Structure 1
Amino acid sequence: MTRTEEFEELRPLLFAIAYRILGSVSEAEDAVQETWLRWNASTTEPRSAKAYLSTTVTRISLDVLRSARVRRETYVGPWLPEPLLTDSYEDPARSAELVDSLSTAALLLLERLSPLERAVFVLREVFAFGFPEIAAAVGRSEAACRQLAVRARRHMDEGRPRFEADRKECEELAGRFFDALKEGDVDGVRELLAADAQVVGDGGGKAPQLARTVVGDDPVARLLTTFFTTLARVDVTLEARELNGEPGAILRDRDGKVLNTWTLEIREGRVRTIHSVTNPDKLAHLGPVADAWAVNREAQQARRTV
């Protein structure tokens, strides 16, 4: 097998590691590309291509994450990870850990960890790397990595929901939720929301966002139905998709360009959180991005003329 073939075989794993560490599709892709450049330029022949490449992409991702954390301190409004389409995504951890480690809620929990804790948790808990490999990847002793793993696992367990959600039930509930939304049925939407449901919006100051944070089943139901029915007047459509291993949707303008994404966090048979991303920088990997400001102006004008 050539070096190129080895790298391409391991590319899905490398991206999966980088995305979980960074929470950014674009930055993860850049980290994988930088890993390839280093691999291609290297004159050494490592005993394990997987160990070498995993170590390289982890170190690159850690450097990027440390820099990104400084930028996020001045981020406008709530920060959410870049939405990842997973209904056609080949993920090495799909069978066991997909929803747990790729969901928006899990990625936000990972944000609470230090960069080293995050990297160790991802390598150990998601991909089952041994501590010798992890120690080499993060540049710490095995003993230190074990301590980091324990702390990270404790923090993650404290923030996780008590009950697992059934995947099929979640998909069916999401279907009813989106149908009610398209029909402008406020009561139908409200019935599917948890009492403490919330909308969390990420526009990054670069697009009109659905909301920064709105809490409560009635306010959320009214916000969502008003928002979607207003946009539907200017031919915005809702395309149900799986995002980050959870039910979600892509909203598109009349030309098919990406306007927004929603990801639904479902707990105990109700929609608990809707994560909404409108920041165009976080949508570009999904395809051409709509001019959200222009769509919003047109929608508001159409609403006033009704």
Structure 2
Amino acid sequence: MTDRTGIDSEDLGAASPGAGINRAHDFERLRPLLFSIAYRILGSVDDAEDAVQETWLRYVISETEPDSAQAYLSTVVTRVAIDVLRSARVKRETYIGEWFPEPLLEDPYDDPERSAELADSVSMTALLMLERLSPLERAVFVLRDVFAFEFAEVAAAVGRSEAACRQLAVRARRHMNEGRPRFEADRRERAELAERFFGAIREGDVAALRNVLAADVQAVGDGGGKAPVFPRVIAGAGNVARLFGSLVPALIGIGGTIEAREVNGQPGAIFRDRDGKVINTLSLDIYDGRIQTIRSVVNPDKLRHVGPVADVWRVDQDIRRARRATG
């Protein structure tokens, strides 16, 4: 019999039946936290899910009963994620084009008192800033500054002394603060600007688009060499407005749709083809009263967890024909 963890109940034989049931219950209760830790360290939904699964496997075969399931499982998932991150960084060095984290539509970990802080920590901007950190710095920052673990817990999780973890945390915060925008928008302002942006691109209203874009706005795509993206970074309000002002109406003209929703805790959207399949996700960085960066994930390997993926090459050809037809 297989439960929600994907593990056959017979594999719980490493502990007594009662202990096995308790472990499964503890794991399910803590799964949202474990995934959220792993995703922030790895920037990948698939890798985070694999790290959580590996954590379960190690938990279920452990012959000792930990004093704290949360401490044990958080330690295991952190160490697994660090190992995965170290190997993944080699692959990213040969990645074709811009590399963005896999889009996350919903963070399963919920803490109402810190919801805004948690949402900001999973934004594309924050995850890309985390890429500047070493794996240990990244893990310490995530555990301490995002999830508010005590330094004793952080030290146990990463296998370093508390003093060393304090130093790692200081370095991580310095790097993160250096990359933070100076004027961040509140959530209402972001929602209002995003609504105006998506309304303007649907209508192809270039003038309205320019009004919500920063003068030096950039539009950047991650196709990984497996999907058509912008030929380069598109910079400047005029260029970006003209791009989206012609591209999106052409997509809608061939039956495509835009589903506005949060992506990585920020305003964004899912673009779909006429069959409802996912073309790409889009996220907006908004601060200082304007949209500063538009990031699009088009690599199909990074979108399969969102839903069935479209043939983006065919969609691209159809859009090009539609744009040529309208002059």
State TM-score, norm by structure 1: 0.96
* In structure 1, distance between residues paired with 2:181 and 2:94: 29
Counterpart residue number, 2:135:
115
Q: Write out per-residue CA displacement over residues 89-121 of structure 1, whole angstroms, 9 at most, x where no aligned residue.
A: 432455252232111000000000011100000
* In structure 2, distance between residues paired with 1:122 and 1:219: 37
* In structure 1, distance between residues paired with 2:28 and 2:130: 27
Whichever of the two has the greater Rg, that structure is 2
Counterpart residue number, 2:70:
50
Q: Write out per-residue CA displacement over residues 159-218 of structure 1, whole angstroms, 9 at most, x where no aligned residue.
A: 111233110111111011100110000111111001111111100000011354111110
* In structure 2, distance between residues paired with 1:170 and 1:304: 34
Contact 1:249 1:261 in 2 (8 A): yes
The runs of 5 or more residues in structure 2 that have no matched partner are 1-20
Counterpart residue number, 1:75:
95
| Letter aligned with residue 205 of structure 1 | G
* In structure 2, distance between residues paired with 1:52 and 1:242: 32
Q: After the TM superposition, which residues 197-208 of structure 1 pair with which residues of structure 2 at under 5 Å, given as runs?
A: 197-208=217-228
**Equivalent position to 2:197, from 168, 171, 177:** 177
Q: Write out per-residue CA displacement over residues 22-43 of structure 1, whole angstroms, 9 at most, x where no aligned residue.
A: 0111110111111111111112
Q: Write out per-residue CA displacement over residues 117-154 of structure 1, whole angstroms, 9 at most, x where no aligned residue.
A: 00000000001111121111111111111100000011
* In structure 2, distance between residues paired with 1:256 and 1:147: 49
| Letter aligned with residue 196 of structure 1 | D
* In structure 2, distance between residues paired with 1:212 and 1:48: 50
Considering only aligned residues, what root-mean-square deviation do their CA atoms show, in Å? 1.3
Counterpart residue number, 2:150:
130
Q: Which moved more, 1:136-145 or 1:114-123?
A: 136-145
The runs of 5 or more residues in structure 1 that have no matched partner are none
Residue aligned with 1:284, SS: coil
* In structure 1, distance between residues paired with 2:312 and 2:119: 29
Tell me if 1:91 matches 2:109. yes
Residue 294 of structure 1, CA deviation: 1.0
Tell me if 1:254 matches 2:278. no
Residue aligned with 1:119, SS: helix
Q: After the TM superposition, which residues 124-203 of structure 1 pair with which residues of structure 2 at under 5 Å, given as runs?
A: 124-203=144-223
Residue 248 of structure 1, CA deviation: 0.1
Counterpart residue number, 2:240:
220
Residue aligned with 1:70, SS: helix
Counterpart residue number, 1:276:
296
* In structure 2, distance between residues paired with 1:36 and 1:178: 41
Q: Write out per-residue CA displacement over residues 34-85 of structure 1, whole angstroms, 9 at most, x where no aligned residue.
A: 1111111112100000000000000000011001100000000111111110
Tell me if 1:292 matches 2:312. yes
* In structure 2, distance between residues paired with 1:136 and 1:84: 28
| Letter aligned with residue 66 of structure 1 | R
Residue aligned with 1:248, SS: strand
Residue aligned with 2:305, SS: helix
Higher relative contact order (CA 8 A, sep 6+): 1
Residue aligned with 1:2, SS: helix
The count of corresponding residues between Structure 1 and Structure 2 is 304
* In structure 2, distance between residues paired with 1:267 and 1:303: 32
Contact 1:200 1:211 in 2 (8 A): no
**Equivalent position to 1:104, from 106, 119, 124:** 124
Q: Which moved more, 1:225-234 or 1:274-283?
A: 225-234
